[in-house]
């Protein structure tokens, strides 16, 4: 009986993992499909900004930040996707880096991509990102001034 329970739990875990991968499928450019159309979302910074101060190396370049949903009070609702585009000063075209935040079950998930040829590849994710975003806790961890 115990072996059957373990087998059922294993099958459920595998099905869940497959569902998560399917939900986070990549688009043709390597970014997650849930970021498609981000340039048409509300831009939440008043004007493009650059990094200054102790975090100048994080996302170095000119940035714009887009949100898929509006804040409700002081927080973004579950399902919100935040996209920060990063471009070296003076460079035009598609962004050289794209940082993505996705709110799932009340918590942000972070992943940063860099342009490699014609596709984006993962540069950083998880706790590395969270440590810097803690400084923007009052803004629901969304950085729009650095």
- From CA 107, how far away is CA 130, in angstroms rounded? 11
- What per-residue confidence (pLDDT) applies to 9? 40
The model's pTM is: 0.77
Residues of the chain with pLDDT under 50: 5-23, 53-54, 146
Nearest to residue 102, comparing CAs of 59, 73, 133? 133
Distance CA 85, CA 113 (A): 10
Q: How far is CA 11 from the centre of its chain?
A: 29
8 A C-beta contact, residue 32 and residue 26: yes
pLDDT, position 106: 94
Predicted pLDDT of residue 127: 83
DSSP 76-138: PPTT-EEEEEEE-TT--SS-SEEEEEEEETTEEEEEEEEEETTEEEEEEETHHHHHHHGGGGG
């Amino acid at each position: 009986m115990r072996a059957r329970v373990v087998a059922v739990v294993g099958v459920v875990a595998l099905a869940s993992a497959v569902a998560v991968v399917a939900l986070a499928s990549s688009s043709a450019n390597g970014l997650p499909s849930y970021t498609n159309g981000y340039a048409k979302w509300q831009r939440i910074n008043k004007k493009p900004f650059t990094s200054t101060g102790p975090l100048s190396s994080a996302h170095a370049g000119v940035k714009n930040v887009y949100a898929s949903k509006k804040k409700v009070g002081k927080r973004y609702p579950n399902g919100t996707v935040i996209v920060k585009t990063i471009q070296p000063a003076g460079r035009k075209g598609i962004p050289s880096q794209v940082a993505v935040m996705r709110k799932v079950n009340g918590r942000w998930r972070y992943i940063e991509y860099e342009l490699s040829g014609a596709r984006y590849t993962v540069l950083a994710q998880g706790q590395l990102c969270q440590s810097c975003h803690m400084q923007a806790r009052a803004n629901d961890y969304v950085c729009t001034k650095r």
